[in-house]
Structure 1
């Protein structure tokens, strides 16, 4: 499959350049998507950030060299992109639990992270509910946080961000000033979320809790940030109906399946635009959620 070829091509490029400068631009070129969205996709598929994967591979090779050669620690640090022996030693100890000097000793217990390879996995016993829709340009406004993907920190922080926004009254203030027009007719809730609408740097992405301004003419209070979203074709994934307390779990389960299961065989690619989380209230404590991702035909 073309998707598998691209992903394994990225891993080959990384392996060939572990002792050189690794270009995220070249990685994006091989994968045929933006640097920003490839990093997000890689993190979802592998449960580790791209930067952390590269760091682990470099420190795995560094440990092997320490045990099989007389290379100096300072030379090894420079070889794998560290500015000083001290920075290298800190990173080495954080990963392996011992110093580079002790790693030379026989019997030293070290960690090895082999290269990732991507293969077809037989899945599909659980269906994925989706639809493809066209949407005109719109605006969205609310409160923003920059989330860190390292070690899955975003999966912990985002639910806390929602909780804090309820507790400090932000949700109530958003509801008071939200336009009447809804993204879809029906049971959509008042406040939703948008993310990845600008590049915030390696291993991070912006996440905004807010409301839709579909007409683009709302008066936005100064405490809120407004962003403009161009027209896109969107693929929309729906969670199963669930209790309100299960919302975080159910939407994270959908996110975990989109990139490794749907995209590889869909004939579509990420359109390098923002992503949405839309929440629906069915009443009586029941609800469901949707994940919206912009797409283009391959």
Structure 2
């Protein structure tokens, strides 16, 4: 995977002035665009699309300063149909417009070309098991919320606390298959895992594929497949988020598995009354790499 990501970085450089087919490239490596984008985002700390934009504007800035070409020609060369669109992209990276940079020579913010290297430190114990599950359903209350990488997500917290206590008990009574108990479900997450991008969050339980779901509940169909299950314990949600990050930096690069599209699930096995610490299981849909 590390070599694949470095080849992807090289491909970005080769196609800075044009779009390229990430899905086709992933296929040549025997992996998927979904897994490639998720691993890039997790390890680089930014989505692939953001890295491409930063690199394009880094190189374009040199042309703005040194080239005698008009700004429209430079904009078109880097895939923008107008100087306005090019200016917005340029300003989002450098903080100033291309006209200002041409006049003043700066300021410029450079995005260096990335190079991935794997250092497995084992700082996060990876207590993992692989399970094969038949198709099942997730039933509960869903909401669209923005992705937040660190700390408590206030939108998720508000969604859960708005449910009456008896509704939590009702949901628990409906669950009849693994993973057991009340679940924190994230679905429709974009492959780049862009912070702030909306996803579907469902507070609910797992039920068998043939179990009828009450009409007042939302449901998500989950196809049969394999899952990597990571157990984590400690301060909540920090320990869980650290384990989630370590799956990308340590576990996936060291094991013959890759992510497949599907919801990620968190089962809370035990917790303090104030939820300051918890023991959880993180379920990620996987397939052989």
Same structural fold, with TM-score higher than 0.5 when normalized by the shorter chain: yes
**Structure 2: how far apart are the matches of 1:71 and 1:270?**
45
Residue of structure 2 aligned with 1:249, choices 227, 238, 244: 238
Deviation at 1:201, TM superposition (A): 9.4
DSSP 3-state at the match of 2:229 = strand
What is the TM-score with the length of structure 1 in the denominator? 0.83
Gaps in structure 2 of 5+ consecutive residues: none
Contact persistence 2:139–2:207 (CA under 8 A): no
Deviation for aligned residue 1:50: 1.3
User: Deviations for 1:155-193, whole angstroms, at most 9, x for unmatched residues?
Assistant: 269722321113322775354245142525xxx642432
CA deviation map 1:209-247 (0-9, x unaligned): 23233323444344432122122221111112x3xxx32
What CA deviation, in whole Å up to 9, does each residue of 1:121-171 have, x standing for no partner?
A: 2422442221222222210023434555xxxx5326972232111332277
Deviation at 1:14, TM superposition (A): 1.3
Structure 2: how far apart are the matches of 1:248 and 1:281?
13
Farther-moved stretch of structure 1 (273-282 vs 210-219):
210-219
Q: Is the 8 A contact 1:239 1:289 kept in 2?
A: yes
Deviation at 1:89, TM superposition (A): 0.9
| Counterpart contact for 1:147–1:206, Cα < 8 Å | yes
Question: SS of the residue aligned with 1:104?
Answer: helix
Q: Is the 1:142–1:208 Cα contact (8 Å) retained in structure 2?
A: no
Cα distance in 1 for residues equivalent to 2:37 and 2:81: 24
Q: Does the 8 Å contact 1:102/1:108 carry over to 2? A: yes
* Paired position in structure 2 for 1:226: 219
Q: Map 1:62-141 onto structure 2 (within 5 A).
A: 62-141=60-139
Distance 1:8 1:121, change over 3 A: same
Q: Report how many residues are paired.
A: 284
Unaligned runs of 5+ in 1: none
Q: Please, which of 44, 47, 69 is the counterpart of residue 45 of structure 2?
A: 47
Q: Distance in 1 between matches of 2:35 and 2:164?
A: 29
With over 3 angstroms needed to count, the CA separation of the structure-2 counterparts of 1:175 and 1:40, relative to structure 1, is farther
1:108 counterpart SS class:
coil
TM-score (ref. length: structure 2)? 0.85
Flag the 1:144–1:71 CA change in 2: closer, same or farther, 3 A: farther
Q: For residue 168 of structure 1, what is the aligned residue in structure 2?
A: 162
* C-alpha distance 164-93 of structure 1, shift in aligned 2 (>3 A): same
